[in-house]
Amino acid sequence: MKEKTKLVYKVIVGIFLCFLLLPLAVIFIWSFTKNWPWPKILPENFGLRGWLYFINPSSKSISTLIFSIFLSFTVTVITLGITIPAAKALALYRFKGKKLIELLIFAPIIVPTVTVAMGIHLQFIKIGLANTFLGVVLVQLIPCIPYSIRILKSVFELIGEDMELQAKVLGANSLQTFIYITFPILLPGVISAGSMAFIVSFSQYFLTFLIGGGKIVTFSMLMFPYIQSGDRMMGSVYSVVFILTTLTFLIIVEKLTNKFYKNKLKEHNYV
Amino acid sequence: MSKIALKNIEKSFNKVKVLKNINFEVPEGKVVSLLGPSGCGKTTTLKIIAGLIFPDNGEIFLGDKAITDVPVEKRGTVIVFQDYLLFPHLNVEDNIGFGLKMAKLKKKNINIQVERMLELVQLKGYNKKHPHELSGGEQQRIALARALAIEPKVLLLDEPFSNLDTKLREDMREITLEIQRKLNITTILVTHDKEEALMSSDKIAIMLKGEIKQFGTPEELYENPNSIEIADFFGKKNYISCNIAKHTFNSGLLSFPTKMEDIKKGKAMIKPEDIIIYTEEITDLRGVILSSKYGGQRVYYTILVNGIELMAVSQPFKIFKVGEKISIDINTDNIKIFKEK
């Protein structure tokens, strides 16, 4: 009986992995393929055009990638700066209008971003934030904040306020409490929220395009025309790089968390 | 001087009064228990003393100084919470040294104090362990060591033993009280366990619904409760209607001469352990066993005597069967009478 359930389990996991990995494998193969006519299972003409173009400095792909990582990193840091205190307030304190604020925070996920962005665009043009780095950073906060708050709020609900109270009872002032107790205990949650924000920001296309006005070029903007115009090879090269970037980021973050905190925080099962 | 005194402390949450007129004093080096059911306001009182909550009215004195407005980190009081709250990301050494590090002591002095504390709680060599590697009892002792490391003037214990199993709880209580006596530190213990309060305190304040109903030594509270509520808190008792006229106690069960003043109507409290059960025809008070529960060290009976149902407790030298005819004797010296209006 046990063997049987194990087998079933393996089959299900296998199917899921196929669904997840097969499209990725196709993209990977496409990035080296000149053409791939139907009904051939594997392509016959391979080439490195896509990758050579990507590496070539004149295509500005790598510099855009680095710029994009920097931009998303900035967005992530600001998102965390806003959401750590906000999530704490929402998780632990009782105040008037809390439900309404919670609803409003999740509004960007519920309401299509396009509609929100249109209105913001007009305002940004008026105050001169359109087509600027700052403008793009600000607008990207909109989709990042809800996710970050969601994650951090549950972490705060789990930890509660007791550890902080205990630290204060032992003579720590507010700053010391945050540095030595709240932040270290919160760190795994901060890292999850941060990686979420990074990925959301990194994959923003429309918001960046609208507010950046073509002057602020991110990696996803570079990649989009190729996918749209049907240059499969180029599109696949950029897609692979895109996936590798976010994957690398996640792996680094995961390793860091494991190294520093997972063992120490075993009893807090939220890691 | 580190006696602590509460004067007319009051506190409301959302317009509900949770503490009404709390007054009591803990002399230096003594242990006072706040005893009461959950939700009676005892933990709130403790948090007010620690400075985690500020009272609406009233003053707290430490020695002769009012500390009501002193913020929590500067009070010199320290709480050990029910679930210990050891910092999960710090090892034992850093946990115990935390308060000292916050006070910006030198590393060398911190280490000396940490070693002293570990010795005090009998956990030498645990320096590098992390909280999740410790058992419940060990965590409790580290939490205590961490609290005592900053040499507080007052130690506040919030149900510190309630998460431990029975055997360990007794051991921890002994260790804690021994340390308390050794350091002669003024201590307030919050508990809902009556036995724990009776056994570990110099004085007990019984709290019910946000008020201190009686404050006294354990013997006083047990032997001489000032209301039926408090008497019942220490275990179920028998109450029979009675009156006293011309220095005679009268009730449906028994009457005897007494020196007490006349009472028109009252309730006489008879503790189950003051009723002694004999086989039939030893005394004049005859009855029958209605039920019996065997509890190892004791047997709990309900008996029917003169149409009155009574609870009795006896040691199991002789076990009576349900329906068996018996006679009883009542220790009249310990009868306590509550006046009724």
Question: Which tens digit of pLDDT belongs to each residue from A20-56?
Answer: 888 888 888 888 888 777 777 778 888 888 888 888 8
Measured between beta carbons, the chain A residues lying within 8 angstroms of B52 are: 165, 168-169
Which of the residues A166, A263, A265, A269 would you substitute to probe the B interface, choosing the one with the greatest number of B C-beta atoms within 10 Å? A166
Q: Does A9 touch chain B (CB under 8 A)?
A: no
Vertex B37 angle, CA B31 and B40, to 5°: 85
Split at pLDDT 50, 70, 90, the class of A270 is very low
Chain A nearest CA to B44, separation (Å)? 14
For B270, other C-beta atoms within 10 Å of its C-beta total 23
Give the B window 72-91 contacts with A, CB below 8 Å.
72-74, 77-79, 81, 83, 85, 87-89
Name which of A165, A176, A184 is nearest B89 (Cβ-Cβ). A184
Chain B contact for A6, CB < 8 A?
Answer: no
Contacts 24+ apart (CB under 8 A), B235-238: B235/B194, B235/B272, B236/B272, B236/B311, B237/B269, B237/B270, B237/B271, B237/B272, B237/B311, B238/B269, B238/B270, B238/B271, B238/B272, B238/B275, B238/B310, B238/B311
Higher local confidence (pLDDT), B233 or A1 = B233
**β pairing state of B336-339 and B248-251:** unpaired
C-beta separation of B258 from B248 below 8 A: yes
Inspect the interface and report whether the beta carbons of A168 and B72 lie closer than 8 Å.
Answer: yes
The distance in angstroms from the start CA to the end CA of chain A is: 33
Residues 6+ apart with CB under 8 A from B142: B84, B86, B92, B95, B96, B121, B123, B126, B131, B134
Cα–Cα distance measured from residue B130 to residue A264, given in angstroms and rounded to the nearest whole number: 7
Collect all residues of chain A within an 8 Å Cβ-Cβ radius of residue B79: 166, 169
Of all residues in chain B, the one with the smallest CA distance to A266 is: B132
pLDDT per residue as tens, chain B (341 positions) = 588 999 999 999 888 889 999 999 999 999 999 998 888 889 899 999 999 989 999 999 998 889 998 988 888 899 999 888 999 888 999 999 999 999 999 999 999 999 999 998 888 989 999 888 888 889 999 999 999 999 899 999 998 888 888 888 888 888 889 889 988 999 999 998 888 889 889 999 999 888 999 999 999 998 888 888 888 888 888 998 888 888 888 888 888 888 878 888 888 899 998 999 988 778 888 889 999 998 888 899 999 998 889 999 988 788 888 988 998 989 888 888 888 76
For domain A60-270, the question of CATH label 3.20.20.450 is answered with no
> A261 to chain B: nearest residue by CA?
B89
Nearest-neighbour CA in chain B from A52: distance (Å) = 48
- Assess whether pLDDT exceeds 60 at residue A264: no
User: Which pLDDT score, from 0 to 100, does residue B14 have?
Assistant: 85
Question: Is A261 at the interface with chain B, CB within 8 A?
Answer: yes
Q: Write phi, then psi, for B132 (nearest 5 degrees).
A: -70, -10
Instruction: Say if residues B302 and B324 touch (Cβ distance below 8 Å).
Output: no
**3-state SS class at B339:** strand
A180 touches chain B (CB under 8 A): yes
Q: What does the pLDDT read at residue A269?
A: 43
Judged against a pLDDT cut of 90, whether residue A225 lies above it is answered with: no
B129 touches chain A (CB under 8 A): no
Q: What is the pTM of this model?
A: 0.75
Nearest CB to B132; choose among A169, A181, A266: A266
Tokens describing residue B281 = 């025809």
- Residue B225: strand, helix, or coil: coil
Distance from CA of B273 to the nearest CA of A (A): 43
Rounded to whole angstroms, the Cα distance separating B15 from A6 reads 58
Residue B141, by phi and psi: left (phi above 0), alpha (psi -120 to 50) or beta? alpha
Q: Where do the domains of chain A lie?
A: 1-47, 60-270
Q: Please indicate whether, in this complex, the C-beta atoms of A171 and B150 are within 8 angstroms of each other.
A: yes
pLDDT of residue B229: 86
Query: How many CB atoms lie under 10 A from the CB of residue B204?
Result: 28
User: Which residues of chain A does B101 touch, with a Cβ-Cβ cutoff of 8 Å?
Assistant: 180
> Which of helix, strand or coil describes residue B149?
helix
Contacting residues of B for A263, CB less than 8 Å apart:
130
Of B73, B77, B78, the CB nearest to A173: B73
pLDDT at A265: 52
* Distance (Å, whole) CA B26 – CA B36: 18
CB–CB contact B52 A266 (8 Å) = no
List, as one string, the DSSP characters of A63-130: HHHHHHHHHHHHHHHHHHHHHHHHHHHHHH---TTHHHHHHHHHHHHHS-HHHHHHHHHHHHHHHT-T
| ipTM topping 0.90 | no
Helix (H, G, I), strand (E, B) or coil at B93: helix
Letter for the amino acid at A256? L
B311 secondary structure, DSSP code: E
* Burial class for A2, CB neighbours closer than 10 Å (0-12, 13-18, 19+): exposed
Residue A268 predicted with pLDDT over 70: no
Instruction: Show the DSSP H helices in chain A as ranges.
Output: 2-30, 49-55, 61-92, 98-110, 113-127, 133-159, 162-169, 174-177, 183-202, 206-212, 219-229, 232-257
**Dist CA B19 CA B141 (whole Å):** 31
- What is the SS3 assignment for B122? coil
N residues, chain A? 271
Q: What is the DSSP letter of B34?
A: E
Question: Is residue A90 predicted with pLDDT exceeding 50?
Answer: yes
Q: At residue A209, what are phi and psi to the nearest 5 degrees?
A: -60, -45
